Amino acid sequence: GLWGLVNNAGIMGAPAPTDWLDIEHFREPIEVNLIGLINVTINMLPLIKKAKGRIVNVSSVGGCLAFSGGGYFPSKFGVEGFNDSLRRDMKAFGVKVCCIRPGLFKTGLSNPAKIMKEKEVIWNKLPPDIKKQYGEEYFQKDAAKKEKLSKVCLNKDISPVVQCMEHALTSLHPRAHYVVGQDAKLFWNPLSRMPAIIQDFLLLRNRVELAVSHAK
């Protein structure tokens, strides 16, 4: 058998407004983050069941609160749904299934320079009418806001995530969900439980005002 499976592979994709994107921008993160995770899991299940082992799925605070466009957040919402159904299906076999929800950590996935470069490529290909709606200065202003948010929220030490993985694999009584990172515990996770009107108010305060909103 196999005692432990940790599904940690993931990509960000392009976190951009939905009307900037085509279906391929959504397909890639969903294929990797969700379909890939499901595929690995179902192929390993016979070995995990034999050992009465553990499955640890790394989701994200973005699996319960979508604060940007693109395929990353739908993929992580899917991971949360798959994780919950799998946990209940496996109880009868003595297999424990855990979900880890990290906040914003300093990794290759969250590299601000890489993300903004990908968004810039998309921005440069947008039709003129879309650019006009957003305003020619939108991209620069958005980059500045994202950089400010990153400085406030980004966790530099990834060891708490690793510690959660270790606890989920070795503890006699692992938790169903692990929320990791100060930003996740103090802001994203509590916000995900609040009414939509409060979520929208707080999240939209970090958005750049569009040129179209001034049109008469």
Which member of 72, 134, 138, 178 is catalytic? 72
Closest to 54 in 3D by CA, of 114, 119, 100: 100
Residue 164: which residues within 8 A CB-CB, separation 6 or more?
A: 100, 178, 180
- Told to judge if 72 belongs to the known catalytic residues of this protein, a careful annotator would answer yes
Residues with a known catalytic role: 72
